[in-house]
Amino acid sequence: MTASQHDARAAHLAQINVATLRYPLDDPRMAPFVELLDPVNAAADGTPGFVWRLAEEGAADATALRPAGEDVIVNMSVWETQEALWDFTYRSGHLDVMRRRREWFERHVDAHLVLWWVPAGHLPTVGEALERLADLQAHGPSPRAFTFASSHTAAEAAQHLQAPSPQSVPAPRSARPPQSTASPAV
């Protein structure tokens, strides 16, 4: 086994995307989106390669968390591979929701999605994620912060895989506990 093969198995892909609400979540125009939250999150939780997603303590999702502004919601998750995240994003019912996003969210001028590699077992903080998004917005894609269109492998990002100190790692709720990397999901 080469070092890069070992690095790839020892890393997971983290992502955050932000969306600026057109209307408050309790506005009737947002009802179709709100109704889709549970089914889409359940689909993510059951997708092969899913590891973890951010959810507010005591809630099923992260829509009440507003670390990027009062009218901005965040979605953050960790996946075993980029392919697993791609398949969920573009080859599942999630795609139907994405096609309707202009009904519910403003168009972003800057990057609103960032991907980065984390050590397997590390759950990124929202602060860490927003810092990666800011890095992408300020400097463009790199092995440290990238997009699907400008992706990098875990081996290419190896120097950026250092996890923050344990005290900065959150204890957010997950729909499913992190999976072992000993045997990947099929």
Q: Are 54 and 75 in contact (CB under 8 A)?
A: yes
Average per-residue pLDDT for the chain: 84
Reported as a single tens digit per residue, the pLDDT across 58-111 is 888 899 999 998 999 999 999 999 999 999 998 887 878 888 999 999 998 888
Q: In angstroms, what CA-CA distances link 185 with 4, 50, 112, 173?
A: 21, 8, 28, 21
Q: How many CA atoms lie within 13 Å of 99's alpha carbon, on the beta-carbon side?
A: 7
